[in-house]
């Protein structure tokens, strides 16, 4: 059977890997700037939300210049904007997951996007109607981003058309960041609060 994942270009896979690495670095610096704030009772749930947005920001930055990939930022309700990555026959949205190999929390936009996906009979269909990939003109994938506290583990996940089960998934490896890109990342990152305070003290010394 022709894999439905084959329609996602390698350049997009590399861009996703890079974006996740950069998002982790950004979140790490933000957290280091004032860890007490992020660890306080007032910030419950805020860490994962900020990390999620750091990933989306760098995915947007790394993919925006590719002519074959369309990037949209859509308001999905309650002031929450989500990154939509699409090509001619696929749609991907990055979603935080609290544990590996599970679907993210359901939301209306995810359920609506998945209605054109295969059902649970996908592999049975593949035996009788090859190639299955031509049967589905636009497939919705979730980019699940699990954060272990240090690094993001990204996976492309294909939900069924009811958004209740995972039909298949593919890992995305994040070792695509070159030394030059890492240097660029460090250069554009904001200074930590502690670094600014030290410079201020030295300037007044």
pLDDT value for 134: 78
92 token code pair:
């991907």
16 Cβ neighbours under 8 A, 6+ residues apart: 59, 62, 63, 143, 154, 172
Q: Rounded to whole angstroms, what are the CA distances from 26 to 56, 65, 122, 186, 188?
A: 11, 21, 39, 9, 10
Degrees to nearest 5, angle at CA 199 with 197 and 201: 70
Q: pLDDT tens for residues 55-84?
A: 999 999 989 888 889 999 999 888 889 999
Lowest mean pLDDT across 11-15, 133-137, 200-204? 200-204
pLDDT value for 184: 40
| Start-to-end C-alpha separation, the chain | 70
Q: pLDDT tens for residues 35-50?
A: 888 888 888 888 889 9
H helical segments located in 34-156:
35-38, 46-63, 108-114, 122-128
Q: Which residue has the higher pLDDT, 202 or 32?
A: 32
pLDDT value for 205: 58
Q: pLDDT tens for residues 155-194?
A: 999 999 999 999 999 999 864 444 444 444 443 444 555 5
> Tokens 């930022």 — which residue?
73
pLDDT value for 135: 81
> Tokens 């999620």 — which residue?
52
Query: Cα 109 vs. chain centroid, distance in angstroms?
Result: 16
Lowest mean pLDDT across 112-116, 128-132, 178-182? 178-182
Mean pLDDT of 104-119: 94
Whole-angstrom distance, CA of residue 76 vs CA of residue 27: 23
């Amino acid at each position: 059977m022709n894999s439905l994942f084959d329609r996602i270009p390698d350049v997009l896979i590399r861009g996703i890997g890079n974006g996740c690495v950069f998002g982790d670095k950004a979140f790490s610096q933000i957290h280091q700037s004032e860890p007490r704030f992020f660890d306080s009772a007032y910030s419950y749930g805020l860490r994962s939300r900020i990390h999620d947005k750091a990933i989306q920001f760098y995915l947007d930055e790394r993919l925006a210049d590719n002519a074959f990939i369309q990037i949209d930022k859509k308001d999905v309700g309650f002031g929450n904007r989500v990154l939509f990555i699409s090509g001619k026959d696929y749609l991907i949205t990055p979603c935080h997951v609290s544990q590996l190999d599970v679907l993210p929390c359901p939301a209306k936009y995810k359920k609506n996007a998945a209605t054109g996906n295969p059902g649970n009979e996908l592999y049975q269909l593949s035996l009788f109607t090859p190639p299955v990939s031509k049967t589905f003109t636009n497939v919705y994938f979730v980019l699940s981003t699990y954060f272990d506290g240090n690094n993001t583990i990204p996976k492309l996940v294909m939900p069924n058309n009811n958004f209740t089960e995972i039909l298949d998934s593919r890992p995305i490896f994040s070792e695509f960041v070159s030394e030059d890109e890492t240097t660029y990342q460090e250069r554009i990152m904001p200074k930590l609060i502690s670094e600014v305070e030290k410079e201020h003290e030295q300037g007044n010394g």
